[in-house]
Structure 1
């Protein structure tokens, strides 16, 4: 299972955010631009690099070592699988996936679980590295230790999956308009579905 590589290489994963601080800041800004409010959970919380600065108190991940790092950042981190969430139905105002669906065996099942735990009118947000972006092409060819097992999707494919799960896409935010080999620059979030990092928010009925 792909999550095991994160268990084995947690420190290397976490240090990426320090080595690529400007890219990380741009991604964080794109997530913040979604305007998520209320009681939420990040699925695939990892080491808490997004949940902590976003003020998101709850995270779920399959990797125990990742969860320990998330706990150290003040996240209420719980072990669980995205396809079978250890959460009550209709308990969350929003559910957030950040570059998580590409590592799951059944991403549609995970989105249906997110829909189950969502309160009426709540939001499910999915952030991806689109397959048809320069970053997606690069990671497909040079996946390395982490992305070698990933299956990348386009923004249109994610939107279709969201609809199949009973969720309706309402907003796109994006960043990383430059290529992966270009010098990074600070960016204002945009709405390009083929940028290097794209977030799609959707509403449940």
Structure 2
């Protein structure tokens, strides 16, 4: 049983408790979201796919997949490393998924393969090289969710994407500060914000 099967209720409650943060993250993703047929890798309970109009996703947690289906999303229960699509999607979104996958290189490579030529991958993550990211890293052993996570910097993500063949990068960010209860908000080009979205083209 996966971590998210055990704590799916806590996951859902986080979004209710931190609604403003969730809304700001959604807005940041929207600034770079392309048109066309999309897939979310690590769709979870559909908290991002549903408001963003993404109708298809993959998710290894059965409990989370069930909630996503109840929100109108078609879900295949598999991992990013095992997914098998080729030239099918105009864009792929991952939101705080890359820090949980066992093989980030294989994950990004599979995303590249699944995209149509000219398609886009958007990777949203908490940047290790930010005040909030450093706080998460320091305290992750105490967290139900982040204990097994590997946090990345913006350059780490771009280098992984370049290795898979992506180019033409854009980056937007939000969430400034090192405490969830006192964050400042604003969408900017990437510099010191915690929540970053890197977009690359196939």
TM-score range, shorter chain: over 0.9
Q: Is the 8 A contact 1:122 1:203 kept in 2?
A: yes
**What residue is the counterpart of 1:152 in the other structure?**
151
**What residue is the counterpart of 1:123 in the other structure?**
120
More contact order relative to length (CA 8 Å, sep ≥ 6) = 1
Q: How many residues align?
A: 200
Q: Is the 8 A contact 1:129 1:152 kept in 2?
A: yes
Alpha-carbon distance, 1:179 to partner: 2.5
**What residue is the counterpart of 1:176 in the other structure?**
175
Q: Is the 8 A contact 1:92 1:122 kept in 2?
A: yes
TM-score of the two chains, using structure 1 as the length reference: 0.93
Distance in 2, Cα, partners of 1:196 & 1:149: 19
Distance in 1, Cα, partners of 2:191 & 2:161: 15
TM-score of the two chains, using structure 2 as the length reference: 0.95
Are 2:176 and 1:188 aligned? no
Distance in 1, Cα, partners of 2:168 & 2:153: 14
Distance in 2, Cα, partners of 1:43 & 1:201: 14
Alpha-carbon distance, 1:181 to partner: 4.7
Distance in 2, Cα, partners of 1:61 & 1:129: 20
Distance in 1, Cα, partners of 2:5 & 2:178: 29
181 and 85 in structure 1: CA distance in 2 versus 1, 3 angstrom threshold = closer
Distance in 2, Cα, partners of 1:98 & 1:137: 18
Provide, for residues 108-146 of structure 1, a one-character-per-residue CA deviation record: whole Å limited to 9, x for no partner.
100000000110100011011011111111111222110
Q: Is the 8 A contact 1:169 1:200 kept in 2?
A: no
Are 2:82 and 1:96 aligned? no
Look up the SS of the partner of 1:141 in the other structure: helix
Structure 1 alignment gaps of length 5 or more: none
Alpha-carbon distance, 1:59 to partner: 1.0
**What residue is the counterpart of 2:37 in the other structure?**
39
Look up the SS of the partner of 2:134 in the other structure: helix
Look up the SS of the partner of 2:199 in the other structure: strand
Q: Is the 8 A contact 1:60 1:80 kept in 2?
A: yes
Structure 2 alignment gaps of length 5 or more: none
Instruction: Report the aligned-residue RMSD.
Output: 1.3
**What residue is the counterpart of 1:20 in the other structure?**
18
Alpha-carbon distance, 1:35 to partner: 2.9
Distance in 2, Cα, partners of 1:156 & 1:65: 33
**What residue is the counterpart of 2:58 in the other structure?**
60
Q: Is the 8 A contact 2:132 2:176 kept in 1?
A: no
